[in-house]
Amino acid sequence: MTSPHSHALYTVAQVRALDRHAIEALGIPGYELMRRAAEAAFAGLRRCWPQARRVAVFCGPGNNGGDGFLLALLAREAGLDATAFALADAREEGGDASRARDACEQGGVPVLRWAATGALPAADVYVDALYGTGLDRPPQAAAAVLIERINASGVPVLALDVPSGLNADTGHCPGAAVRADLTVTFIAAKRGLHTGQAAACAGRVELATLGLPESLWQAALPDARLLEAAALPPRPRDAHKGRNGHVLAVGGDHGTAGAIRLCGEAALRGGAGLVSVATQPEHLVALNAARPELMAHAVNGPQALEPLLERASVLAVGPGLGQGAWGHALWLTALDSRLPLVLDADGLNLLAAEPRRFDAERQVVLTPHPGEAARLLGCSVDQIERDRFGAARALAGRFGAVAVLKGAGSLVADPDGRLDVCPWGNPGMASGGMGDLLTGLVAALLAQGCTARDAARLGVCLHARAGDHAARGGERGLLASDLLAPLRRLLNGLDA
User: What proportion of the chain, given as a percentage, has pLDDT over 90?
Assistant: 88
Name the strand (E) or helix (H) holding 290: helix 284-290
Whole-number Å distance between alpha carbons of 463 and 59: 40
Residue 136 vs residue 121, higher pLDDT:
121
Q: Is pLDDT at 90 greater than 80 in this prediction?
A: no
pLDDT tens digits, one per residue of 335-351: 999 999 999 999 999 99
User: Which residue type does 454 have?
Assistant: D
Whole-number Å distance between alpha carbons of 194 and 202: 8
Whole-number Å distance between alpha carbons of 19 and 301: 60
**Whether 378 contacts 391, CB under 8 Å:** no
Mean pLDDT of the chain: 94
User: Which residue type does 148 have?
Assistant: E
Q: How confident is the model at residue 114 (pLDDT cuts 50, 70, 90)?
A: confident
Average pLDDT over residues 296-304: 95
Conformational region of residue 318, where left means phi above 0, alpha means psi within -120 to 50, and beta covers everything else: left
* pLDDT at res. 233: 86
Least confident range from 52-66, 83-97, 273-287: namely 83-97
Task: Return all residues near 320 (Cβ < 8 A) that are at least 6 apart.
Answer: 251, 252, 253, 256, 257, 258, 259, 260, 279, 345, 346, 436
pLDDT tens digits, one per residue of 390-443: 999 999 999 999 999 999 999 999 999 999 999 999 999 999 999 999 999 999
Q: How many other C-beta atoms lie within 10 A of the C-beta of residue 111?
A: 17
> What is the three-class DSSP state of 365?
strand
